[in-house]
Chains A and B, each alone.
Chain A
Amino acid sequence: MSNNISVKGARANNLKDIDVEIPRNQLTVITGVSGSGKSSLLFDVIFSEGQRKLLESMSSFSKRRIPMMPKADVTSIKGLSPVIAIGQIRSMHNPRSTVGTMTEISNYIRLLYATVGKAHCPYCEVEIVTKTANHMIEKLERLPKGTEVELLAPVFKIYGEQYEVLFGEIREKGYKKVRIDGKFKDISEKIELDEFKNHHIEVIVDKIIVEDGIYNHLKKSVENAFTLGSGYILFEIKESSVETKETISFYKNYGCSDHHIVMGELKQNHFSSNILENSCRTCRGLGVRIQAEKQLFIDDPEKSIRQGALGHFNAGRRMVMTLSKNYNFSLDTPYKDLPEEIRDMMFHGNKGEKISYWTKNQKGEWYESRWKTHYEGLLNETNRLYWHATRKGTLPTPGSAEQNFYTRHMTERPCPDCQGKKLNSQRLFVTVNGKNIYELGNMDMKELLGFIKKVTFEEKDKKVGDQIVKESIKRLELLIEIGLDYINLNRRADTLAGGEAQRIRIANSIGSEMTGMLYCLDEPTIGLHPRDSYKVVRTLKRLRDLGCTVMVVEHDLDTIKNADTIIEIGPGPGSFGGEIVIQGKPEEIMEDNRFLTGQYLTGRKTIALPSERRTSNGKVLKILGAKENNLKNIDIEIPLGVLVSVTGVSGSGKSSLIHDILFRKLYSIFYDKRIMAGKHDEIQGVENISDIRNIDQSPIGRTPRSNPATYVGFFDKIRKLFKDTEAAKQRNFGVSYFSFNHKNGRCIECEGEGEKRTDLQFMPDIRNKCPLCNGARYNRDVLEIKYRGKNIAEILDMSVEEALEFFEHDNTISYKLKVMNDLGLGYLKLGQSATTLSGGEAQRIKLSKELGKIKRKKNNLYLLDEPTVGLHMEDIQKLLTSLNKIVDDGNTVLVVEHHLDVIKSSDHVIDLGPEGGSEGGSVIAQGAPEEIAKVEESYTGQFLKELL
């Protein structure tokens, strides 16, 4: 095989028919300004062609089930090997996926608990030994013949449910006799219990009279009891039975001698919360409960209820009419003008007050019935129906109308039963060195590594044990090595930052020790402090040394410097880019003037320090006694009216402080009282700001139905321009015809998505262009309408830059486009689907929306998490200009940032640390960058010193 991957005639997106040779078994970094074509080359050409060839080489059986991928827009690529892309876009929305499952460490930890875990009595927590079914039977068979033994299984009710529901469930499984707090009951009878008391409930699984030949049914019954009792089994020798030496000594050293409970043998999969019988019964192992959320019901507060302010909760509903008649409010008043109590009642109900029910007669006329009712409120109603469906296992299928209703109106809250632990209490009673499996999952990687190293095994478990320890240590060390020491196994995959998820997958790849692979990576250093970015480079080189070819799109200067080969694409964004500017080993090209990044690397070009630091407007926001997560009861002062950076190594507590405490608290004050902020004593100075805006990296939408044009909001204006054309007027096409979300205008085949998706289990979804509209999303009639020579699909296909020229004459549209262009988004297509945008792009789109709105002076507080993600040095300059503009308008901008050029350009810096995890959470320094640089202990300060 040749030593190069040779690409000929790459034309995808803005690439200008380029040829490029990429050396195999090397670390190649592709860099260039945003939108220059880096990702087009690496992902749309090299990766997609590699994936297509891989699929082609598969058996014809699997081929038939997978539609062929379109060939990438390239003449030829030679020298490809199996290709793996590790991108940033969070494709996983599976709430069951965690760092533990992603890294497979959870498998080993589960095995550890199954092997050496110590069980405890669920009633008195005394330690009990686990027994195999055979062991239990043997012991029973040794009792004197004729002894009567009952097998019972302890059971627990679902949180917030009545005991009766538990009894119904038991009955359905085929059991009728239970013991409640020691008393025998028949559950075909009605049983009154204090619902708020914790009763000991045990199901009588079987009665056995010791005799020869009972092995088989005993075994079956022990299995049944094991399943029902989630591992716990209770043996009770009937009192009437003969008391002998054997019966008396039966309980000694056998389970809990007070409660006669033993624990059956647990297997690895008994510790997986994804298996229903192990999971918390309330949340079924999700750790969260889905709950209706008030603000999600308010579609438009300017509208009246009759006009649909609350969506389906409109005047057609009997309950709505009933409330309106009884409480004398009009269904035609705009929602926002309704009295507070009335609005509250819609959501929380009328507290049981009896009101007369209004209904319709046969002719559809309203009348007051003689019946009284009360109203539970929209939130309770939605919760009740949803939770009922969850318990019954009849949740609507994803994508269905009902499911859409729930996802639009409900959000996640920690499960009130297990508080996010996911496993049922029986499993949490099993410990290793005093810790249960959930507690282990909460340890950061370093702590966990220390813990695992200390576990000891008995001789019989030694072989398995050593294997578990070896495999876990290997994986943990890789994660620590790549800079993820602060992360823990319980962390949900869908809460990981793009860079973190990517680094985990890199560590996994090394762990798998596959050689000869081709890796395509997208900015793996995101979210890392400059102190730690070398860790990523180090790991990428290990991957290379395994015999893999590693190709990375990266802006981090350290990574670029350390590459074997650098390729810069450019020179500009969009149509100004798409060419290879320069390629070579770092030392060969570093001084070359064509190498733009090199100018920054060598310091020939820099982002200039601000000529002077702004001073605050004299007002401050104070966070007192911050204690969330690892924060060490700290006080923080944020000066207002300036640009503030919050810094610190990964895991030092930045997000806990800024997101969990500051943002959530302010959000609860300004928007929704029920949002719970992270632990802290008080926030002072809230009166000094007028609003809070969080500009994060979450997607601007989760479907291809939203895009920059719809999100920033000028698409409505464009549709109006189309509606006003002569051709549209003749056909009587309203604005809805120009929306690909509306049935009037959209293509019927793809329903306006422009593509058809095929789910593949083992690879990312394959998306194919819709065969009917060829990706245009609209139907033919609509596409015939032209505005200044272009149809609506052609306009959505324009880049921001092109559109700026096209709409020059229209002030509103061009203003918003200009803001986007200024933020380095000129290369984005107006109609690019939200699902293909990177986190950084999404953030900048949100920022443009904000900037496009700013008019009069306000004291808003803007929060931004790592706005430099995906930005080249050239673009960072543009970002800073925009942030400064916001500040100069009187607002405060607070960024969580690792990029030193942003930090040095801030007016005020708050540095947390010193390390990540339990060793972080303190304030290391606060003040202007110059002051931070003077602080010895501050890593950020040390790096800053060189730049000031």
Chain B
Amino acid sequence: MYSKASKEKKASIRARYEKALGDYVEKIKHDPYVIAVVLGGSLAYYDVGEDSNLDTMIIVKDNADSATHRVFTEEGITIDSFVMKRDRFRRHLEGIIQGGQYHSFFSKAKILYTTDDSLRDYIKDSNYFGSKDREIQLLNFYSGAFYSMYKTRKFLYIVGDVYGSYSFYMQMVSCLAQIEVTLEGIIPLREVIQQALKLNPTVFNKVFIEASEMKKTEENMTEMIKACEEYLDERMEIAYKPVLDYLADVGEFRTLQEIREYLESKSGQRLPFLNLREIVRRGWVLDSVEEKRITDRSQPLLHEPSFLYDPSMVKEED
């Protein structure tokens, strides 16, 4: 694929980066307050380009202080360094929403230097994507997908701006890719579309590659949206299972707030934009309203949506 010249050029860039990094670490080794230097980003798992920076995480002792984000430079190369105390680093790694941004950093991270071997296990373990975490993340990704879907449609059919619509469409495709990767038990990285293309080329070639290349017309867009909808529909039951299980279990109405808080309390993870409109639209659950006040001091009662699910009835319908 690459020409010989470009290969050579790449090798020389890489050598320059590696030298800079080596020098940087060598200096740090003399600092008794630093426990470890971890490399993430381009050099660790991807190709470096001429304008790349280096991304590192520096773990320091619990009794040392530093700003969180420091920028250094070595041989003209910028080195972005996130500095964390050991305790915070540890808890951060275990508490983080898996599949989130930090996770992406550590999933391909390399320890360049450490005085504390116990950190190796922590970083290694952080690659693990637990089933409960996957459940919550799927719901988050689904909510993201529906949000972009509404926007895509709105710009296409109401605003009549096909390019505006396309920009939301691409966001939706990212969410689809996150769903694909998560369902496979893999941690979605920043390059999630590439990951999804490998896992499910049929769908993603169409919704990503073909969509990029096609003429942006209302008709073409409609077709792509339909493909995405089908994709979402097929996996929706799996994604919404935790919600339906919970509602089936209580057998009564629960408000959106209650459902969210329940799922959050059991996972220790956040679920900020849980979207249940789609499962109502599909007739899986019945929505009604509960009377609630905005603040506990308020008098007027407002209507908060609440949901009921009855598994026996859904089966009858089938």
Contact = CB atoms under 8 A, between A and B. Distances in A.
B95 A172 contact: yes
A183 interface: no
Contact of A216 (B63, B135, B261): B63
A174 B93 CA distance: 8
A801 B263 CA distance: 64
B116 A206 contact: no
B164 interface: no
Contact of B293 (A176, A357, A375, A402): A402
B296 A401 contact: yes
B308 interface: yes
Contacts of A171: 94-95, 267-269
B98 interface: yes
B266 interface: yes
A809 interface: no
Interface of A is mostly: mixed
Given A207-B121, A208-B118, A211-B116, A219 B95 contact: no
Contacts of B118: 148, 206-209
B127 to A, nearest CB: 12
A376 B252 contact: yes
A392 interface: yes
A190 interface: yes
Nearest to A403: B296
B286 interface: yes
Nearest to B263: A168
Contacts of A187: 130, 132, 268
A808 interface: no
Nearest to A191: B132
Contacts of A175: 91, 94-95
Interface in B94-144: 94-95, 98, 115-118, 121-122, 125, 128-133, 135
A209 B35 CA distance: 13
Contacts of A400: 295-297
B94 A373 contact: no
Contact of B297 (A165, A354, A374, A397): A397
A175 B129 CA distance: 15
B90 A206 contact: yes
Contacts of A392: 261
Interface string A397-421: 1011111000000000000000000
Nearest to B130: A188
Contacts of A172: 95, 268
B132 A373 contact: no
Contact of B87 (A224, A354, A401): A224
B202 interface: no
B149 to A, nearest CB: 26
Interface string A345-364: 00000001010010100000
Contacts of A710: none
Interface string B258-284: 100100111111000000000000000
A373 B62 contact: no
Q: Report which residue of A148, A170, A188 has the largest number of chain B beta carbons within 10 angstroms of its beta carbon.
A: A188
A174 B92 contact: yes
Contacts of A370: 313
Contacts, number: 134
Contact of A217 (B32, B87, B264): B87
Contacts of B304: none
Interface in A207-222: 207-209, 211, 213-214, 216-217, 219-221
Interface string B285-296: 010100101011
Contact of A168 (B131, B251, B266): B266
A216 B95 contact: no
B86 A217 contact: yes
A186 B98 CA distance: 13
B131 A189 contact: yes
Contacts of A399: 297
Contacts of A352: 251
Contacts of A188: 98, 128-133
A318 B288 contact: yes
A213 B91 contact: no
A169 B269 CA distance: 10
A371 B251 contact: no
Nearest to B286: A371
A317 B86 CA distance: 54
A217 B62 contact: yes
Category for how many chain B residues contact A = 35 or more
A761 to B, nearest CB: 23
A858 interface: no
A173 interface: yes
Nearest to B250: A376
Interface string B51-63: 0000000000111
Contact of A176 (B86, B95, B121, B266): B95
B298 A170 contact: no
A221 B89 CA distance: 12
A168 B268 contact: yes
A392 B265 CA distance: 9
B253 interface: yes
Nearest to B268: A171
Nearest to B128: A186
A104 interface: no
A164 interface: yes
Interface in B216-265: 251-253, 258, 261, 264-265
B80 interface: no
A115 to B, nearest CB: 29
A402 B296 contact: yes
A397 B296 contact: yes
B299 interface: yes
A134 to B, nearest CB: 14
A177 B94 contact: yes
Contacts of A190: 131-132, 135
A221 B286 contact: no
Contacts of A220: 62, 85-87
Given A168-B267, A401-B298, A401-B299, A372 B313 contact: yes
Interface string A694-735: 000000000000000000000000000000000000000000
B297 A401 contact: yes
Nearest to A371: B286
Contacts of B161: none
Contact of B130 (A189, A206, A219, A221): A189
A190 B132 CA distance: 5
Nearest to A404: B296
A302 B195 CA distance: 69
Given A164-B266, A168-B266, A207-B121, A221 B94 contact: no
Contacts of A354: 251, 310, 312
Contacts of B297: 397, 399-401
B27 to A, nearest CB: 19
Nearest to A398: B296
A16 B249 CA distance: 73
B310 A372 contact: yes
B265 A168 contact: yes
Interface in A738-790: none
A174 B269 CA distance: 10
A567 B183 CA distance: 88
Given A217-B87, A396-B296, A373 B95 contact: no
Nearest to A176: B94
Interface of B: 32, 35, 61-63, 85-87, 90-92, 94-95, 98, 115-118, 121-122, 125, 128-133, 135, 251-253, 258, 261, 264-269, 286, 288, 291, 293, 295-299, 308, 310, 312-313
Given A186-B130, A209-B117, A374-B251, 17 more contacts: A148-B118, A167-B266, A171-B94, A174-B91, A188-B130, A190-B131, A214-B116, A217-B61, A220-B62, A352-B251, A354-B312, A369-B286, A372-B313, A374-B252, A397-B296, A400-B295, A402-B293
The 4 A-B residue pairs with the shortest CB-CB distance, nearest first, are: A188-B130, A171-B268, A174-B91, A396-B296
8 contacts: A172-B268, A174-B90, A174-B92, A175-B94, A175-B95, A188-B131, A375-B252, A400-B297
